């Protein structure tokens, strides 16, 4: 089948590569000329395991191509996927300008029936807006009445696991008011739907809301645990023991109940805000979502407060080794990353940062440029050199069992602020390391 994908970011590239991998003829279009030029040479600027080789092999096989030419792109695919960004606007709403721009582009070049598939995360009612823009653009061309369908097909992939999530999805949500359009998508997704039927067909608005509901639920689970961690700290309990204690209840489960430095990334923060905004527009105050957003913002500052307390508020001239810049492991994405909040607070307090991340070093340089108070190191060991303390922000696997002798040897003082609770409290005590975790009342009591 012939498929066009607008937007060559995390979602567009993964969708394009995976659809090509099963034999389709995919054309990806992006407005970013530099990005497209790189992709045409097989250069993938984002880190997503398995993505680059999959893109290269499908380009070599002639099933995947990249272009800036919108007219060519609209002509190409019977399916026109919209996978462009929907960032937060100033008021927290999802900014639809890129999505509606694509709708206008498709309307400008449409010359036969096509299925417009919205994969971007968009507020309820966006499919109606996309349809209205298309109809108006066609009308202006004197082609009113030309047939097309708009389908909502929200994407649930996780960065770091995106290929697997796309190839073996938990569910394929299709929102439409026309069952025939859903059948086109059933055919398109058949290669990913062989083991058992994962397709869930529903109305457009419900599909649009399903994506927000999923992200808001996950963000709420994390935030609930962070709130409990803060309580545990106050009452001298260890949240890690509590986590295991509640996770064993099947109704609760072990996933997404890890306390930490707050959620980040390109989805949860903006999607919680956008859902809260959508509710507000309808006169409903979503108090739980507001609280999740607020608690998460505060959580991102929690580690800095611990650092400040430990050093009696005097951070001027101090140096911190920071392990982990990406908002989570296996990605280089630093959008809304807790590391950014922490570094910016440390800098504001006059401290310097020696940072290491296995994948996000280039991204950090792109965001912050060259500055005296940020050294981006090429190894986790280098980052430790003469630092006043080690701060762990992202739970990359390689940080789980480090050489503590080496850490103690390189740091000025043996102090670790662990935003991901990677280490055992007793081990830290045996090693003689002053250790601050999240919600580990015992560790706080011992070190104070």
Ligand X SMILES: NC(=O)c1ccc[n+]([C@@H]2O[C@H](COP(=O)([O-])OP(=O)(O)OC[C@H]3O[C@@H](n4cnc5c(N)ncnc54)[C@H](O)[C@@H]3O)[C@@H](O)[C@H]2O)c1
Nearest distance from C-beta of residue 171 to ligand X, angstroms: 13
Size of the site for ligand X (CB under 6 A): 26
CB of 143 to ligand X, least distance (A): 21
3-state SS track over 24-52: CEEEEECCCHHHHHHHHCCCCCCCCCCHH
Cα-Cα-Cα-Cα dihedral of 50, 324, 7, 279, to 10°?
130
d(CA 313, CA 102): 50
Catalytic residue among 18, 28, 267, 377: 267
In the bound state, the residue with its beta carbon closest to ligand X is 9
Return the residue of 66, 79, 98, 263 that touches ligand X, per CB under 6 A.
98
Q: Is 144 exposed, middle or buried (0-12, 13-18, 19+ CB in 10 A)?
A: exposed
Map tokens 């380009």 to a residue: 59
Task: Return the sign of the alpha-carbon dihedral for residues 438, 444, 445, 446.
Answer: positive
**Distances 348 to 143, 356, 366, 425 between C-alpha atoms, Å:** 57, 20, 20, 31
**Binds ligand X by CB under 6 A, chosen from 17, 18, 64, 83:** 83
Does 72 interact with ligand X (rule: CB under 6 A)? no
- Is 157 a binder of ligand X (CB under 6 A)? yes
Beta bridge partners of 323: 356, 392
Radius of gyration for the chain, computed over Cα atoms and rounded to the nearest angstrom: 24
CB-nearer residue toward ligand X: 101 or 385: 101
Phi, psi of 66 (to 5 degrees): -130, 145
The minimum distance between CB 325 and ligand X, in angstroms, equals: 17
The β-bridge partners of 40 are: none
Is 377 a residue of the active site?
no
Choices 18-26, 29-37, 53-61, 240-248 (CB under 6 A): range interacting with ligand X: 29-37
Indicate which single residue of 266, 330, 394, 443 sits in contact with ligand X (rule: CB under 6 A). 266
The single residue among 11, 39, 319, 346 that binds ligand X, judged by CB under 6 A, is 11
Any contact of residue 223 with ligand X (CB under 6 A)? no
101 binds ligand X (CB under 6 A): yes
Minimal distance, residue 186 CB to ligand X, in Å: 21
Nearest in space to 367 (alpha carbons), one of 400, 325, 331, 396: 325
Q: Which CB, 345 or 363, lies closer to ligand X? A: 363
- For ligand X, the binding residues (CB under 6 A) are 6-12, 29-32, 35, 83-86, 98, 101-102, 120-121, 155, 157, 159, 266-267
| Catalytic residue list | 267
């Amino acid at each position: 089948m012939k498929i066009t994908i607008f937007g060559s970011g995390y979602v567009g590239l993964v969708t394009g590569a995976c659809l090509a991998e099963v034999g389709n003829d995919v054309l990806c279009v992006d407005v970013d000329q530099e990005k497209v030029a790189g992709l045409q040479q097989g250069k993938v600027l984002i880190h997503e395991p398995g993505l680059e080789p999959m893109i290269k092999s499908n380009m070599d096989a002639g099933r995947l191509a990249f272009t800036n030419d919108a007219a060519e792109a609209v002509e190409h695919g019977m399916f026109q996927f919209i996978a462009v960004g929907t960032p937060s606007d100033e008021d927290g709403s999802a900014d639809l300008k890129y999505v509606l721009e694509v709708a206008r582009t498709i309307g400008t070049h449409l010359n036969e029936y096509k299925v417009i598939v919205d994969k971007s995360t968009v507020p309820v009612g966006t499919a109606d807006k996309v349809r209205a823009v298309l109809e108006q653009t066609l009308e202006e061309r004197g082609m009113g009445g030309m047939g097309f369908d708009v389908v909502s097909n929200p994407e649930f992939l996780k960065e770091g696991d995106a290929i697997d999530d796309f190839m073996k999805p938990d569910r394929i949500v299709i929102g439409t008011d026309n069952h025939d359009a859903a059948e086109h998508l059933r055919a398109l997704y058949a290669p990913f739907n062989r083991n058992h039927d994962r397709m869930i067909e529903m109305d457009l608005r419900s599909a649009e809301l399903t994506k927000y509901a999923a992200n808001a639920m996950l963000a709420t689970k994390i935030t609930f645990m962070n709130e409990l961690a803060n309580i545990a700290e106050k009452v001298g309990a260890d949240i890690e023991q509590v986590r295991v204690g509640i996770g064993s209840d099947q109704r609760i489960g072990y996933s997404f109940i890890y306390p930490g430095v707050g959620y980040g990334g390109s989805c949860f923060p903006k999607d919680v805000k956008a859902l809260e905004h959508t509710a507000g527009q309808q006169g409903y105050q979503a108090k739980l979502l507001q609280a999740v957003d607020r608690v998460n913002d505060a959580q991102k500052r929690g580690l800095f407060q611990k650092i400040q307390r430990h050093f009696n508020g005097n951070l001027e001239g101090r140096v911190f080794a920071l392990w982990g810049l990406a908002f989570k492991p296996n990605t280089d994405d630093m959008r809304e990353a807790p590391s950014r909040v922490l570094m910016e607070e440390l800098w504001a307090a006059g401290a310097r940062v020696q940072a290491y991340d296995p994948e996000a070093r280039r991204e950090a340089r792109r965001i912050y440029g060259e500055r005296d108070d940020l050294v981006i190191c090429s190894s986790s060991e280098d980052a430790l050199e003469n630092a006043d303390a080690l701060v762990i922000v992202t739970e990359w696997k390689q940080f789980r069992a480090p050489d503590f002798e080496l850490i103690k040897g390189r740091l000025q003082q043996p102090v670790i602020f662990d935003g991901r609770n990677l280490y055992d409290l007793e081990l830290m005590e045996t090693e003689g390391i002053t250790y601050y975790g999240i919600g580990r009342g015992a560790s706080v009591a011992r070190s104070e």
